[in-house]
Amino acid sequence: MTALLSIRDLRAGYGDADILFDVSMVVASREIVVIVGPNGAGKSTAMKSIFGLLDIHAGSIAVGGTDITGWAPNQIVKAGVCYVPQVQNIFSEMTVHENFEMGAFLRKGDYSAALDRVYQLFPDLKAKRKAVAGSLSGGQRQMVAMGRALMLDPQLLLLDEPTAGLSPKYMEQIFQISRNVRDTGVAILLVEQHAKQALAFADRGYVLAAGRNRHEGTAPALLADRNIAEMFLGG
Give the range of 70-78, 162-170, 183-191, 211-219 binding other proteins by CB under 8 A: 70-78
Least CB distance to other proteins at residue 82 (A): 8
Residue 93 in contact with other proteins, rule: CB under 8 A: yes
Helix (H) or strand (E) holding 141: helix 138-150
CB atoms within 10 A of CB 142: 28
Instruction: Using the minimum distance from each CB to other proteins, give the nearer residue, 38 or 73.
Output: 73
User: CA of 223: how far to CAs of 177, 189, 203, 205, 229, in Å?
Assistant: 22, 18, 11, 10, 7
The binding track of 95-134 with respect to other proteins, each residue x by CB under 8 A or -, is: ---x--xxx-xx----------------------------
Cα angle: 70, vertex 71, 72; to 5 degrees: 120
Closer CB to other proteins, 87 or 210, in the complex: 87
Distance of closest approach, residue 103 Cβ to other proteins, in angstroms = 6
18 Cβ contact list (under 8 Å, min separation 6): 11, 12, 57, 211
Q: How far is the CB of 186 from other proteins (least distance, A)?
A: 17
Q: Which stretch binds other proteins (CB under 8 A): 7-15, 61-69, 88-96, 173-181?
A: 88-96
At position 75, the amino acid (one-letter code) is Q
Q: Is 164 in the site for other proteins (CB under 8 A)?
A: no
Contact flag: residue 171 with other proteins (CB under 8 A): no
- How near is the Cβ of 232 to other proteins at its closest, in Å? 30
Q: With binding defined as CB under 8 A, does residue 89 bind other proteins?
A: yes
Rounded to the nearest whole angstrom, what is the least distance from the CB of residue 206 to other proteins in the complex? 24
Q: Is 79 in the site for other proteins (CB under 8 A)?
A: no
Beta bridge partners of 12: 20, 56
Strands 66-67 and 212-218: unpaired
For residue 45, the minimal CB distance to other proteins (Å) is 16
Q: What angle do CA 51, 97, 101 make, to 5 degrees?
A: 50
Q: 23-42: buried (b, 16+ CB within 10 Å) or exposed (e) per residue?
A: bebbbebebbbbbbbeeebb
Q: What does the binding site for other proteins look like in residue numbers (CB under 8 A)?
A: 73-74, 77, 83, 85, 88-94, 98, 101-103, 105-106, 148
